[in-house]
Chains A and B, each alone.
Chain A
């Protein structure tokens, strides 16, 4: 009996070792392309150049192990996979008829049309946008993806199509005007994997964060009064304050002004170049203004049009 138990434990440990070994092994091979980029995230721009060098030398050597699909491959297959939000109204959401809609989706539809392929929408959460690109599950992420240095080391961003900054919304009877005023007992809601989360972790490490997976849950939590406020892209919190009475955007702009851009898998140059050309061409016909008027006007009114829209990839 005793021997039996020891045997079982040994068996389980051996099993663990196999799992561990396979993960490590898979790490070293799959990591090849991104290893340098991944290990130096904290050091910022300096690292980016070394990462880029490795990238170009690797690209020729390991062409067979690429996870992404080139422009030609996408056209040939007849379908493009685009990752969008399904719960971030009015940018990417599923409407009452079950169809994807919103500012991002309007752009995605145009991409599909101009490429001459069908679109397969893949619903993403904020935290898995990079993963989806790195594993080749989607060709493009069009999910309100804010451009940051850290992310630019993991994926390739095309030209921007929207401006964004961070904002903080709070109940109207207890408005947060300054993050210094957040007491030690209060929590701020953030969504896992967003720029708001990274910004607060870095700049306000003392503020307790209440993290959620998805927009729908974060919004319900705010409505239920589970936290003192919610920090997110200002577009998002402004939209929320317009749609829900009793909430005020006490801090409309926080941190640096950022841009939002489509992203593709690192190294997917053919698709990236096509996207950049597309965005430039669309600028001539004022496509993103039309997009705004179609999808965002109801929520934000005309006042925000020039603040939010970036046309032809040129930030003013």
Chain B
């Protein structure tokens, strides 16, 4: 291992991790938004929309992100829809993440006993109040382990971005290895940078989970 080589590569890796985190952040936001919407549709069994959501979930959960990115980036321009590589990455993450988030949040919502719903209604709360003050907070805290797992999954999935020419951590490493053949240094940096990115998410997830659980059950 050559420390000098590592030093010269650091700026490139910093750029790559920033790109990954930036796209990951927007992608996760989109995924969370879609997931919330989708799970509410599923929970309230809204006609028509429910069918659409079901098809969406099956399509995006059962195709790899790589295939989705290929489709969005290479196929859509053929029919006149052109999206920049970065937006394409965000869109891809948002769509696949949305499908997973929908299922995670739905399982959370459905885990809350119907009797709570009925009790709250009998106390004179409106349906809206019941959902936002009683059901959703509890469902959220139940879903947190699943949500954190999804976040980590999405950030790791960014490693297929190379196919649409985004210089993420994985592609930066492969590219440098291809040009200068400093394999050990590049792979070492790659592992370290993924850990730098994902460990905080994991730790933060544990903390949030504990707080949410505390709200629900006490210590």
> Is there an interface contact between B74 and A224, defined as CB atoms closer than 8 Å?
yes
Chain A CB within 10 Å — which of B2, B179, B182 has the most? B179
21 contacts between A and B (CB under 8 A): A1-B210, A5-B206, A9-B203, A12-B202, A20-B188, A24-B1, A27-B188, A38-B181, A128-B178, A130-B181, A134-B181, A150-B180, A151-B181, A193-B174, A193-B177, A197-B178, A213-B163, A224-B78, A225-B77, A226-B85, A226-B165
Q: How far is the CB of B146 from chain A (nearest CB, A)?
A: 19
A128 surroundings in chain B (CB, below 8 A): 174, 177-178
> Is there an interface contact between B181 and A192, defined as CB atoms closer than 8 Å?
no
B77 surroundings in chain A (CB, below 8 A): 224-226
CB of A183 closer than 8 Å to a CB of B = no
CB of A251 closer than 8 Å to a CB of B = no
Q: What is the CA–CA distance of A312 and B206 in the complex, to the nearest angstrom?
A: 66
CB of A79 closer than 8 Å to a CB of B = no
Q: How far is the CB of A32 from chain B (nearest CB, A)?
A: 12
Q: What is the CA–CA distance of A297 and B74 in the complex, to the nearest angstrom?
A: 30
Q: How far is the CB of B13 from chain A (nearest CB, A)?
A: 15
A20 surroundings in chain B (CB, below 8 A): 188, 191-192
User: How many residues of B are in contact with the other chain, CB < 8 A?
Assistant: 36
CB of A97 closer than 8 Å to a CB of B = no
Q: What is the CA–CA distance of A197 and B5 in the complex, to the nearest angstrom?
A: 19
**8 Å CB contacts to B: which residues of A196-224?**
197-198, 201, 210-214, 217, 220-221, 224
Q: What is the CA–CA distance of A41 and B187 in the complex, to the nearest angstrom?
A: 18
> Is there an interface contact between B163 and A28, defined as CB atoms closer than 8 Å?
no
Residues of B bordering A, CB below 8 Å? 1-2, 5, 74, 77-78, 82, 85, 162-165, 167, 171, 174-175, 177-184, 187-188, 191-192, 195, 199, 202-203, 206-207, 210, 219
Chain A CB within 10 Å — which of B164, B167, B175 has the most? B175
A211: which of B74, B165, B192, B207 is its contact (CB, 8 Å)? B165
- What mask results when residues 1 to 28 of chain A are scored 1 for a CB within 8 Å of chain B, else 0? 1000100110010001001100110111
- For the complex of A and B, the 7 pairs showing the least CB-CB separation, nearest first, are A193-B178, A127-B178, A27-B184, A224-B77, A192-B175, A27-B1, A154-B181
Beta-carbon nearest neighbor of B219 in chain A: A1
> Is there an interface contact between A28 and B1, defined as CB atoms closer than 8 Å?
yes
Q: What is the CA–CA distance of A217 and B207 in the complex, to the nearest angstrom?
A: 42
CB of A39 closer than 8 Å to a CB of B = yes
CB of A175 closer than 8 Å to a CB of B = no
B207 surroundings in chain A (CB, below 8 A): 5
> Is there an interface contact between B165 and A221, defined as CB atoms closer than 8 Å?
yes
Given contacts A20-B192, A39-B2, A213-B162, contact A8 B206 (CB under 8 A): yes
Q: What is the CA–CA distance of A201 and B167 in the complex, to the nearest angstrom?
A: 15
Q: How far is the CB of A215 from chain B (nearest CB, A)?
A: 13
Q: What is the CA–CA distance of A213 and B85 in the complex, to the nearest angstrom?
A: 14
CB of A53 closer than 8 Å to a CB of B = no
B171 surroundings in chain A (CB, below 8 A): 192, 211, 213
Q: How far is the CB of B5 from chain A (nearest CB, A)?
A: 7
Beta-carbon nearest neighbor of B184 in chain A: A27
**8 Å CB contacts to B: which residues of A119-166?**
126-128, 130-131, 134, 150-151, 154
Beta-carbon nearest neighbor of B196 in chain A: A16
B219 surroundings in chain A (CB, below 8 A): 1
A306 surroundings in chain B (CB, below 8 A): none
CB of A294 closer than 8 Å to a CB of B = no
> Is there an interface contact between B163 and A217, defined as CB atoms closer than 8 Å?
yes
A16: which of B162, B164, B187, B195 is its contact (CB, 8 Å)? B195
A26 surroundings in chain B (CB, below 8 A): 184
B202 surroundings in chain A (CB, below 8 A): 12
Q: What is the CA–CA distance of A39 and B175 in the complex, to the nearest angstrom?
A: 18
A73 surroundings in chain B (CB, below 8 A): none
A39: which of B5, B163, B191 is its contact (CB, 8 Å)? B5
B165: which of A1, A126, A212 is its contact (CB, 8 Å)? A212
A41: which of B82, B162, B165, B180 is its contact (CB, 8 Å)? B180
> Is there an interface contact between B82 and A193, defined as CB atoms closer than 8 Å?
no
CB of A58 closer than 8 Å to a CB of B = no
B191 surroundings in chain A (CB, below 8 A): 19-20, 23
> Is there an interface contact between B74 and A221, defined as CB atoms closer than 8 Å?
yes
> Is there an interface contact between B177 and A23, defined as CB atoms closer than 8 Å?
no
> Is there an interface contact between A211 and B184, defined as CB atoms closer than 8 Å?
no
Q: What is the CA–CA distance of A192 and B165 in the complex, to the nearest angstrom?
A: 10
A193 surroundings in chain B (CB, below 8 A): 174-175, 177-179
Q: What is the CA–CA distance of A39 and B167 in the complex, to the nearest angstrom?
A: 25
Beta-carbon nearest neighbor of A40 in chain B: B2
> Is there an interface contact between A192 and B174, defined as CB atoms closer than 8 Å?
yes
B163 surroundings in chain A (CB, below 8 A): 212-214, 217
